[in-house]
Amino acid sequence: MIVFDLKCGQGHRFEAWFRDTASFEAQVEAGEIDCAVCGDRQVTKALMAPNITTGEGRDKARAERPEVTAELVARAHAAMRELRAHVEKTHEDVGLRFPEEVRRIHYGEAASRAIYGEASTDDAEALAEEGIGIIPIGPARRDA
């Protein structure tokens, strides 16, 4: 699997996973990739900066990395809870039927609508290979 930074005709940037470059090119040619923001299908690869470091570069990057504090972790958790609450409020929960239902929507077999649910790692990878973009938001906290 490989991740590419992509850009649509409207200038939105997003990432997507593909089996390989040939898979990306075939999906673009078939119009199977659309912008994660606006749905535009005029998608191209965006310029990507390689992430190659030498030993010295790793040490410098490590030194420049912000310190992960309890406050930073708490803020990240709060943001994720807000995101999940928003999704649960504005999207239809299709549960374990998520991979099947998102495919039906993608291929025009079901009405387009905002959904969420559960997918295994294998299902998520298969959806990505089909050019179906999904965004993992993590599991719901059952104890909260």
pLDDT tens for 20-41 read: 888 889 998 998 888 877 888 8
CATH number for 35 = 2.20.28
Between strands 115-117 and 92-95, the pairing is parallel
Q: What is the largest CA-CA distance in the chain?
A: 53
Residues 70 and 38 placed together within one structural domain of the fold: no
CA distance between the termini of the chain: 35
Q: Which domain holds residue 75?
A: 66-119
User: How far, in Å, CA of 114 to CA of 116, rounded?
Assistant: 7
**Residue 41 sits in the same domain as residue 70:** no
39 and 82 within one domain: no
Give yes or no: residues 5 and 44 share one domain: yes
Same domain as 2, residue 41? yes
* Of residues 109 and 52, more confidently modeled: 109
Using alpha carbons, select from 99, 103, 92 the residue that is nearest to residue 122. 99
Number of domains in the chain: 2
pLDDT tens sequence across 41-93 = 899 988 765 555 555 655 665 666 667 778 877 888 888 889 989 999 999 99
